[in-house]
Amino acid sequence: MKPQLFAPAFFAGLTLALGTLPVLTPPSQAQSMTYFCGEGKDGVPTTFARNATGRKIEVIRWAKEWGGGISRENRCKIVSERFQSASEKGILSYLTHGVMGGQKVVCAASQYGAPCSDLLFTLRQEDDPRAVINALFGVGYRAKGPLSQTGDGETQIYIDMDRLLQESL
């Protein structure tokens, strides 16, 4: 009699065992936010985050025209799409500021102290990035941890997105 390396019962058992394994969704996908532009209070275009339970959280209210030929509504749509893209890439852990393409920007960073990973929106040349972030998100939302110094000796601000969205609930 020839020995059988793999008996049919083995394959049946393997199929049964694999068929009963639960399908697991990675936590980052299960807990991800959806970012979109919508009408906020008083009809102001607003970038919102929608959490897994469906709750809408205001992230940025686009109350003022910034110039540059882009309306508040279009700016809201463009920036909301950039938030969504950075979130899907898994790099929207922190908001910070920097310079990209010679322009001052507010951007996404993957970790505290990291440089800009993705552009969220550009600032005007006359804008102070720290003041803009503080005005948009408030000093109370700064990430815990050591302050990070920039090349010009100023403090780099990092907004912890998880904390910002949790405190907004």
Q: What is the pLDDT of residue 169?
A: 59
Contacts of 66 (CB under 8 A, 6+ apart): 72, 75, 124
- The CB density around residue 4, as the number of other CB atoms within 10 Å, is 8
CA distance 25 to 93: 20
Q: Rounded mean pLDDT of 83-108?
A: 94
Backbone angles phi, psi at 156, to 5 degrees: -85, 130
Average pLDDT of the chain to the nearest whole number: 76
Burial of 82 (0-12, 13-18, 19+ CB in 10 A): buried
> How confident is the model over 98-150, as pLDDT tens digits?
999 999 999 999 999 999 999 999 998 899 998 888 887 654 444 444 444 44
> How confident is the model over 13-33, as pLDDT tens digits?
333 333 333 333 333 433 478
> How confident is the model over 148-165, as pLDDT tens digits?
444 555 678 888 888 888
pTM here is: 0.73
Residue-wise burial string across 29-44, b where 16 or more C-beta atoms lie within 10 A, e elsewhere: eeebbbbbbeebeeee
